[in-house]
């Protein structure tokens, strides 16, 4: 099918104003949150399941790849059209179709912004727990695709724990429903299989989201430590004591320096690391748990501990953590970001080894962690205008991923595999494992047209791309 016929066919489905195909218009759709790039042939903006189905069916008949796209905030290259084809931008499908407060569920379209769901359900005393740091921009459909997490996933879990039903368009354009509006639906857990599949098994057009009651009380603590080792040991001690805070975040001195320059957090200049700990629940339990967390932290000789109970104080403590990645632009033009996970008990030694990797490759590494569940976010700082620095940044990131696997961890905690980590998959999985995973795509009737070139090793790099999809431009629009 030539391009002219393709565009006319797409315009018949979604309307002329909902199809982009001029090269200038496609520039922004070459990217996600990484700097690897590849241009789609066209971008369409459907407004209904029926339109998505017709677009996918057209692509299937003509053998054209389809790439689902949300807000483009992903950090693993998941929404890059590596083989061209049609990008289906779902941002116009952003309605909340139903809020069932009695059963604590919401039925939403995939383009709904994450934070908008919690804001809409707040009047019922409910919220949607997954909270990526990009939650003001990222979409529910994107969260489903990547199985997104966030600072509060330590207690509440990641996206798969909060999605109980899906409407999905398969590769041939057929529409199926997975799961239901209630937990405990019999049969295979097809929702669990689909969440985190990164658009390779279908296009989500509707999500049944599980809601939680807003906690009665919240307490946030900021513990400032002289060294990363002391902060890491405190993390291990908090979890080892049997407590599971709602959030347990860490930033090292380099991340603190960037955040202070950006949001003026006012951290002590001698701080080597900070822990941001949040607990919530019933008022009495929160007071007790917060006191226990403070006692544990005090055993590791903190410089100071600050507490916050009202929303404004909490927002101030969270401001530096939420804005740190954008703030890295104060330190370097670019960063290479990973999100491997490690056992919490191995955090002190892993963080020490990350410091050694920084010295070996001659590049600074700013560390931001979902420390409570061992989810690292090492940002290797460099200047992409220097080819040697770019090469070293990529290699340093690879060494950190290898380290995560060596100590019993995983390649990703929330960003997905995408393009960034696909060649590292054999570190964790045998050929038989990967073949079994690929077989799941076949079970969903998927060949090679839905988001091709993602997750599974290809043995080749993306033509015309920079060396790693982990490379991100530091700036105000950068998100974890």
Instruction: Summarize pLDDT for 434-444 with one digit per residue, the tens.
Output: 999 988 888 89
**Same domain assignment for residues 292 and 151:** no
Which one has a higher pLDDT value, 276 or 480?
276
Count of the separate structural domains present in the chain: 2
**Same domain assignment for residues 238 and 361:** yes
Position 459 confidence tier, pLDDT thresholds 50, 70, 90: low
Q: What is the CATH number of the domain that holds 317?
A: 3.40.462.40
pLDDT, tens digit, 9 for 90 and up, residues 17-47:
999 999 999 999 998 877 678 999 999 999 9
Going through 377-429 in order, the beta strands assigned E by DSSP cover 378-382
**Same domain assignment for residues 170 and 311:** no
**Same domain assignment for residues 208 and 226:** no
Residue 189 counted as domain residue: yes
- Where a domain ends, among 166, 190, 213? 213
Cα-to-chain-centroid distance, residue 400: 18
**Same domain assignment for residues 185 and 221:** no
**Same domain assignment for residues 193 and 311:** no
Residue 78 counted as domain residue: no
Nearest alpha carbon to residue 274 among 308, 239, 317, 311:
317
Residue 360 counted as domain residue: yes
**3-state per-residue secondary structure call for 422-433:** HHHHHHCCCHHH
Residue 440 counted as domain residue: no
Are residues 253 and 203 in contact, defined by beta-carbon separation less than 8 angstroms?
no
Average pLDDT value over all residues in the chain:
90
Handedness of CA 199, 205, 211, 217 (dihedral sign): positive
C-alpha 163/C-alpha 108 separation (Å) is 11
**Same domain assignment for residues 197 and 222:** no
Position 460 confidence tier, pLDDT thresholds 50, 70, 90: low
Tell whether the model's pLDDT for residue 73 goes beyond 80.
yes
What residues make up the domain containing 151?
99-213
Q: Hey, what are 11's tokens? A: 């315009």
Mean pLDDT value of segment 97-118: 97
Residue 391 counted as domain residue: yes
Are residues 307 and 275 in contact, defined by beta-carbon separation less than 8 angstroms?
no
Tell whether the model's pLDDT for residue 452 goes beyond 70.
yes
Residues 6+ apart with CB under 8 A from 23: 39
- Where a domain ends, among 387, 406, 425? 406
287-368-147-241 Cα dihedral, nearest 10 degrees: -40
Residue 332 phi/psi, 5-degree rounding, is: -160, 155
Residue 42 counted as domain residue: no
> How many residues are listed for the chain in this entry?
480
Q: What is the CATH number of the domain that holds 127?
A: 3.30.465.10
pLDDT, tens digit, 9 for 90 and up, residues 160-194:
999 999 999 999 999 999 998 777 677 889 999 99
**Same domain assignment for residues 265 and 306:** yes
Residue 430 counted as domain residue: no
Nearest alpha carbon to residue 423 among 411, 414, 433, 432:
411
Residues 6+ apart with CB under 8 A from 354: 365, 367, 376, 378, 400, 403
**Same domain assignment for residues 400 and 273:** yes
Question: pTM, whole model, 2 decimals?
Answer: 0.90
226-232-238-242 Cα dihedral, nearest 10 degrees: -170
**Same domain assignment for residues 371 and 244:** yes
Residue 311 counted as domain residue: yes
Percent pLDDT > 70 in the chain is 94
- Where a domain ends, among 384, 406, 428? 406
Alpha-carbon distance values, 452 to 85, 166, 173, 316 (Å): 10, 22, 16, 42
**Same domain assignment for residues 187 and 323:** no
**Same domain assignment for residues 208 and 224:** no
């Amino acid at each position: 099918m030539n391009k002219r016929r393709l565009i006319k066919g797409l315009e018949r489905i979604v309307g002329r104003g909902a199809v982009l195909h001029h090269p200038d218009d496609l520039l922004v759709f070459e990217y996600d949150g990484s700097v690897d790039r590849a241009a789609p042939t066209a971008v369409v903006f459907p407004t209904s399941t029926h339109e998505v189905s017709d677009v996918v069916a057209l692509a299937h008949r003509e053998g054209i790849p389809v790439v689902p796209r949300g807000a483009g905030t992903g950090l693993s290259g998941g929404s890059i059209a590596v083989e061209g084809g049609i990008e289906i931008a779902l941002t116009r499908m952003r309605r909340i179709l139903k809020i069932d407060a009695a059963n604590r569920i919401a039925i939403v379209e995939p383009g709904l912004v994450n934070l908008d769901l919690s804001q809409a359900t707040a009047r019922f005393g409910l919220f949607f727990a997954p909270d990526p740091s990009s939650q003001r921009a990222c979409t529910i459909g994107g969260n489903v695709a990547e199985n997104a997490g966030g600072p509060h996933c330590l207690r509440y879990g990641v996206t798969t724990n909060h999605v109980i039903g899906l409407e999905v368009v398969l590769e041939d354009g057929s529409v199926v429903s997975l799961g239901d509006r209630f937990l405990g639906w019999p049969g295979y857990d097809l929702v669990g299989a689909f969440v985190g599949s990164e658009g390779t098994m279908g296009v989500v057009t509707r999500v049944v989201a599980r809601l939680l009651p807003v906690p009665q009380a919240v307490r946030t603590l900021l513990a400032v430590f002289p060294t990363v080792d002391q902060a890491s040991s405190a993390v291990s001690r908090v979890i080892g004591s049997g407590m599971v805070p709602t959030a347990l975040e860490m930033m090292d001195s380099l991340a603190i320096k960037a955040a202070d320059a950006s949001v003026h957090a006012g951290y002590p200049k001698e701080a080597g690391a900070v822990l941001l700990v949040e607990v919530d629940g019933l008022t009495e339990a929160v007071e007790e748990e917060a006191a226990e967390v403070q006692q544990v932290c005090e055993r590791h000789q903190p410089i100071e501990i600050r507490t916050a109970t009202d929303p404004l104080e909490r927002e101030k403590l969270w401001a530096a953590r939420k804005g740190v990645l954008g703030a890295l632009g104060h330190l370097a033009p670019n960063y290479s970001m990973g999100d491997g996970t490690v056992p919490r008990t191995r955090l002190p030694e892993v963080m020490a080894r990350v410091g050694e990797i920084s010295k070996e490759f001659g590049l600074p590494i700013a560390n931001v962690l979902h420390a409570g569940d061992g989810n690292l976010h090492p940002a290797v700082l460099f200047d992409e205008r220097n080819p040697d620095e770019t090469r070293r940044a990529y290699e340093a990131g690879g060494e950190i991923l290898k380290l995560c696997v060596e100590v019993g961890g995983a390649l990703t905690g929330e960003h997905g595999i995408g393009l960034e980590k696909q060649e590292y998959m054999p570190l964790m999985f045998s050929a038989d494992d990967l073949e079994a995973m690929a077989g799941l795509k076949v079970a969903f009737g998927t060949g090679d047209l839905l988001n091709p070139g993602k997750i599974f090793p290809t043995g080749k790099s993306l033509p015309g791309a920079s060396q790693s999809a982990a490379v991100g431009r530091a700036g105000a629009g950068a998100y974890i």
